């Protein structure tokens, strides 16, 4: 499986190419210091002079063999070199179209990207020159709608966020073992943990007061991780995540991958019947295509809360039974469901 780079790498590579273009140097490929990951090379798709002190360069995101929605997206860097004591900072990073901002209006450019900028761009500038760099992601606004960025307070685009320069794919077995190892470490320090699925689940769990030392990601392996937690002596677990994923547990499906099983509509129909919803509404639920559309339908008819309270109760009871069946242990389990934006459903 092929490794690639995280999004901040392509942003800084484009910025370096733009600076080199102003300086009339070659920009077909730029070399970057990737910090702890050594030296890397990034192809530059295009670069062009705008005026004597301004240039634009474009790199194309290549995250390798990962399920990364930024794969193939262009990353633009507009750079202007300005002379004089214009700022306390010699490198000014700005958010252009498609790069998100925080709720306070700050550009969503985080530690890795800023560190890479300092290491790779500052040596190109003489002391009296300031580089004003504006990152533009033409597809960023549309791509952001398919993420949980808003739940993290990142608005109107993607973020330059990452913990490492390298985007390294893992096999299914490797990934599960990584999660299990994380669980072992955290179970050794706390008997009360929270399992979360996805970025919105993480944010909700944090908002509920759980510390990072208590948070364990499960991805699709909820059942395996539940049993492992019980065997490690965990006594209290809170399941937190998007209702469209976790509700599968209410139907006894403990690997939530859609490639293995997907009975979400059937589970919601059963819940609607149990809660005695009108026949016409039950039929509308049955004819719906997604859990998200059913949620909106339930909200419209003001019966979403009681349906998801029933679903949450079923998840809890099924999870307790699953743990007891495969580990002969008892564990207290709670279920918290949220929507795609991290808003609590129940």
* pLDDT confidence tier of residue 259, bands split at 50, 70 and 90: low
Tokens of 255: 């690997």
Give percent of the chain with pLDDT exceeding 90.
66
Give Cα separations from 11 to 5, 56, 167 (angstroms).
Answer: 11, 12, 15
Residue 148 is predicted with a pLDDT of: 54
Does position 323 have pLDDT exceeding 60, yes or no? yes
Residue 346 is predicted with a pLDDT of: 76
Q: Partners of 158 in the beta sheet?
A: 99
Q: What is the pTM of this model?
A: 0.57
Each as own residue / partner, the long-range contacts of residues 171-180 (CB below 8 Å, 24 or more positions apart, any chain) are 171/1, 175/219, 176/219, 176/221, 176/224, 179/216, 179/217, 179/218, 179/219, 179/221, 179/225, 180/224, 180/225, 180/228
Residue 148's SS3 state is: coil
Residue 167 is predicted with a pLDDT of: 72
Whole-number Å distance between alpha carbons of 37 and 220: 29
pLDDT tens per residue, range 288-305: 988 889 999 999 999 999
Residue 96 is predicted with a pLDDT of: 96
Whole-number Å distance between alpha carbons of 205 and 199: 10
Does position 12 have pLDDT exceeding 70, yes or no? yes
pLDDT tens per residue, range 55-77: 999 999 998 876 577 889 999 99
Residue 67 is predicted with a pLDDT of: 58
Does position 269 have pLDDT exceeding 90, yes or no? yes
Indicate the helix (H) or strand (E) that contains 14: helix 7-22
* pLDDT confidence tier of residue 132, bands split at 50, 70 and 90: very high
* pLDDT confidence tier of residue 150, bands split at 50, 70 and 90: low
Q: What is the pLDDT averaged over residues 80-97? A: 85
Residue 114 is predicted with a pLDDT of: 95
Q: What is the pLDDT averaged over residues 108-130? A: 94
Does position 92 have pLDDT exceeding 80, yes or no? yes
Residue 1 is predicted with a pLDDT of: 57
Residue 339 is predicted with a pLDDT of: 85
**124: number of Cβ within 10 Å:** 17
Residue 308 is predicted with a pLDDT of: 96
**Looking at per-residue confidence, does 156 or 44 come out higher?**
44
| Cβ 320 vs Cβ 235: under 8 Å | no
* pLDDT confidence tier of residue 83, bands split at 50, 70 and 90: confident
Residue 97 has what DSSP assignment?
A: T
Does position 260 have pLDDT exceeding 80, yes or no? no
Give Cα separations from 208 to 182, 239, 256, 342 (angstroms).
Answer: 21, 12, 23, 12
**Looking at per-residue confidence, does 153 or 157 come out higher?**
157
Residue 254 has what DSSP assignment?
A: -
Indicate the helix (H) or strand (E) that contains 176: helix 172-187
Does position 173 have pLDDT exceeding 90, yes or no? no
**Nearest CA among 88, 105, 122 for reference residue 12:** 122
């Amino acid at each position: 499986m092929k490794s690639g780079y995280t999004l901040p790498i392509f942003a800084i590579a484009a910025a370096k190419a733009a600076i080199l273009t102003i300086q009339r140097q070659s920009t077909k490929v730029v070399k970057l210091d990737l910090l702890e990951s050594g030296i890397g090379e990034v192809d530059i798709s295009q670069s062009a002079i705008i005026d004597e002190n301004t240039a634009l360069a474009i790199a194309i995101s290549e995250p390798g063999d990962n399920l990364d929605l930024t794969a193939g997206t262009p990353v633009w860097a507009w750079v202007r070199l300005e002379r004089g004591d214009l700022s306390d900072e010699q490198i000014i990073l700005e958010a252009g179209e498609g790069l998100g901002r925080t709720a306070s209006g700050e550009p969503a450019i985080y530690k890795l990207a800023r560190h890479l900028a300092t290491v790779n761009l500052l040596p190109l500038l003489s002391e009296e020159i300031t580089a004003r760099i504006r990152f533009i992601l033409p597809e960023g606004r549309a791509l952001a709608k398919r993420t949980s960025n808003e739940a993290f307070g990142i608005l109107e685009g993607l973020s330059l966020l990452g913990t490492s320069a390298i985007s390294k794919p893992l096999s299914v077995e490797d990934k599960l073992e990584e999660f299990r190892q994380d669980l072992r470490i955290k179970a050794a320090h706390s008997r009360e943990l929270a399992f979360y699925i996805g970025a919105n689940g993480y944010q909700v769990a944090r908002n509920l007061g759980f510390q990072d030392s208590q948070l364990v990601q499960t991805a699709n392996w909820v059942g395996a991780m539940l049993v492992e937690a019980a065997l490690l002596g965990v006594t209290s677990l809170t399941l937190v995540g998007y209702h469209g994923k976790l509700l599968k547990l209410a139907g006894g499906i403990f690997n939530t991958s859609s490639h293995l099983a997907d009975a979400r509509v059937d589970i919601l129909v059963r819940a609607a019947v149990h809660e005695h919803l009108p026949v016409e509404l039950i039929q509308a639920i049955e004819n719906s295509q997604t859990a998200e559309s059913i949620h909106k339908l339930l909200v419209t008819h003001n019966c979403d809360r009681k349906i998801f309270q029933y679903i949450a109760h079923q998840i809890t009871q099924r999870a307790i039974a699953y743990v007891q069946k495969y580990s002969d242990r008892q564990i207290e389990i709670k279920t918290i469901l949220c929507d795609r934006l991290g808003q609590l459903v129940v």
